[in-house]
Amino acid sequence: MPIGSVSASSALSRPPRRRRCTNSGTSAASVADSDMPGSLTAPSRHGKADPWVRLFLVALATPLVTIAPIARSNPPTKVAGWSLLTFTEPHMGTEFTIRVWAEAGREADLPPVVKQAFERVRDLEVALSDYRPDSEINALAKAPAGEPVAVSDDLYAVFETAGRLTTATDGAFDITAGPLIRLWRMSRKNNALPTPEQLAPAKARTGFSNLVLDPDEHTITKRIEGMLFDVGGIAKGYAADAALRILKKGGFPQSLVAASGDIVVGEPPPGEAGWRIGIETLELGHDLKDLQTVTLVNQAISTSGDTRRYFEYEGVRYSHIVSTKTGLGLTERIGASVIASDATTSDSHATAVALLGPKEGLQFIRNHRGIECQIVVLRDGHEAFLRSDGFPLPPGSQAQKESAVAPP
Q: Are 22 and 65 in contact (CB under 8 A)?
A: no
> For the whole model, what pTM was predicted?
0.81
Q: What tens digit of pLDDT does each residue of 319-370 get?
A: 888 988 899 988 888 889 999 999 999 999 999 999 999 999 999 999 999 9
The pLDDT of residue 283: 61
Name the DSSP class of 380: T
The tens digit of pLDDT for each residue in 118-142 reads 999 999 999 999 989 999 999 999 9
Pairing of strands 82-91, 94-103: antiparallel
Q: Is position 39 within any domain? A: yes
The whole-angstrom separation of Cα 24 and Cα 28 is 10
CA distance 214 to 136: 17
Domains identified in the chain, total number = 1
Whether 243 is covered by a domain: the verdict is yes
Say how many CA atoms lie within 13 Å of 336 toward its Cβ: 32
Cβ(192)–Cβ(313) below 8 Å: yes
Number of CB atoms found within 10 A of residue 379's CB: 12
* Cα gap 380→363, rounded to integer Å: 24
Q: Note whether residue 347 is domain-resident.
A: no
Residue 62 has pLDDT above 60, yes or no: no
**Structure confidence by residue, pLDDT tens digits, 159-202:** 999 999 999 999 999 999 999 999 999 998 899 999 999 999 99
Flag whether 374 is in a domain: no
In this structure, what DSSP letter does residue 360 have? H
Q: How far apart are CA 187 and CA 304, in angstroms?
A: 22
| Residues 67 and 27 sit within 8 Å (Cβ to Cβ) | yes
Please state which of the ranges 11-20, 319-328, 344-353, 378-387 shows the lowest mean pLDDT. 11-20
- Round to whole Å and give the CA distance between 108 and 136: 35
Q: What is the pLDDT of residues 255-267, one digit of tens each?
A: 999 998 899 999 9
CB 86 within 8 A of CB 23: yes
The dihedral over CA atoms of 169, 171, 176, 177, expressed in degrees to the nearest 10, equals: -110
**For position 318, what pLDDT does the model report?**
86
The DSSP letter of residue 392 is P
Question: Angle at Cα 119 formed by Cα 117 and Cα 122, nearest 5°?
Answer: 115
pLDDT digits (tens, 9 = 90+) for 202-261: 999 999 999 999 999 999 999 999 999 999 999 999 999 999 999 999 999 999 999 988
Q: Which residues pair with 374 in a beta bridge?
A: 337, 387
CATH number of the domain encompassing residue 175: 3.10.520.10
- The stretch 390-397 carries a mean pLDDT of 74
Task: Examine residue 340 and state whether it is found in any structural domain, yes or no.
Answer: no
Q: Which residues contact 8 (CB under 8 A, 6 or more apart)?
A: 52, 181, 184, 185, 230, 232, 320, 321, 322, 329
Q: Poorest-confidence range of 94-98, 100-104, 186-190, 299-303?
A: 186-190
pLDDT in tens, 311-327: 788 888 888 889 888 99
- Residue 256 in domain: yes
Based on the number of CB atoms within 10 Å of its own CB, is 168 exposed (0-12), middle (13-18) or buried (19 or more)?
A: middle
CA 359 to CA 6: how far, in whole Å? Answer: 18
Q: Pick the more confident residue, 81 or 306.
A: 81
Q: What's the confidence (pLDDT) of residue 310? A: 73
Note whether residue 280 is domain-resident: yes
Closest Cα partner for 91 from 161, 156, 14, 30?
A: 14
pLDDT digits (tens, 9 = 90+) for 71-89: 323 456 778 899 999 999 9
- The residue segments making up the domain with residue 183 are 1-298+314-331
CA dist 95 → 129, 145, 252, 262 (Å)? 15, 36, 21, 11
> Would 368 be classed as within a structural domain?
no
